[in-house]
Amino acid sequence: MTGDSSSIDCTRPSIARVYDYLLGGKDNYAVDRDIGDVFKRDLPGSVAIAFANRAALTRAVGEIVTTTEVRQFIDLGSGLPTADNVHQVAQRRARDTRVVYVDTDPQVLVHGRALLGENDRTRVVPVDVRDPEAVRSHPDTQELIDFDRPVAVMFSAILHHVNDEEDPAGIVRYWRDHVPSGSCFFVSHFRSGNNPETAEAEKVLQGTFGRGRWRTDEEIAALLDGLDILEPGIVPASVWRSEAAGRARDDDGEDGEDGEDELTVWERLIAAGMARKP
């Protein structure tokens, strides 16, 4: 698939464009807004999931660049560009950071050409994230990423779109086995609340796209098998290494999930965590 705008189908909803709409973007069509409005109208508060996820990703990128020597990222299922893309957040702190974005949505690829035009340390690879070998072996990935050095592999809001039978753990395992020690893994994922909100949101996504899987904290942690999950573990994205979590610890004198009591039902339905390959 190429970045040709003629391949964009504006008659069928796109996960990337619905997400863009929920974040307040303009790169979407009426069919995407119709789905987004289901969440806004029938599942009030669900938009918080999109914003909590994006904020956690931004914090993760900044922390990786400022606290480790990692200067190369692979952003799997990157979606449409927003105000703070991975390369922008990282390169503000370390100009030599290189980023490969991976997505198959035609509109994402069109925007990717614009990224390439303005930044020679980014690439957009048009490969399905469920085919990690094709991602790693793609010429653009090979040109930009040195797999002899640690890599940050970002699974931001993508593994919950991989159904169980598509082996999401196998995708993570592939990357774990093909990057060196010291590499970082960031995951954000729909978090099962065993409540009507979770069930309804999953029903909408499965009915529209045939995918969208809420998983428990334990199931999300299991996707990172063989990696060292860093503090504070798998927690709601809103409190993952955030000021909200810090305030909660100050108030309660403990760590972990303290900040969760302050969250809305919806904010609890997206989790985040980071791991390191030992």
How much is the average pLDDT of 87-101? 95
In the chain, how many domains are there? Answer: 1
State residue 6's pLDDT score.
47
Give tens-digit pLDDT for 4-22. 444 566 777 777 777 777 7
Q: Is residue 94 pLDDT above 50, yes or no?
A: yes
- Supply the pTM of this predicted model: 0.82
Higher pLDDT, 68 or 49: 68
**How large is the C-alpha radius of gyration of the chain?**
18
Q: Is residue 2 pLDDT above 60, yes or no?
A: no
Q: Is residue 249 pLDDT above 50, yes or no?
A: no
Higher pLDDT, 260 or 130: 130
User: What's the CA gap between 124 and 140, in Å, rounded?
Assistant: 8
b/e 201-234 (16+ beta carbons within 10 angstroms → b): bbebbeebeeebbbbebebbbebbeebebeebbb
Residue 82 pLDDT level (bands cut at 50, 70, 90): low
State residue 228's pLDDT score.
98
Write out the residue range of the structural domain in which residue 259 sits: 5-276
CATH number of the domain residue 168 falls in:
3.40.50.150
Give tens-digit pLDDT for 195-244. 777 777 777 777 777 677 889 999 999 999 999 999 999 999 999 998 75
Name the DSSP class of 35.
H
How much is the average pLDDT of 131-153? 98
User: What's the CA gap between 277 and 145, in Å, rounded?
Assistant: 17
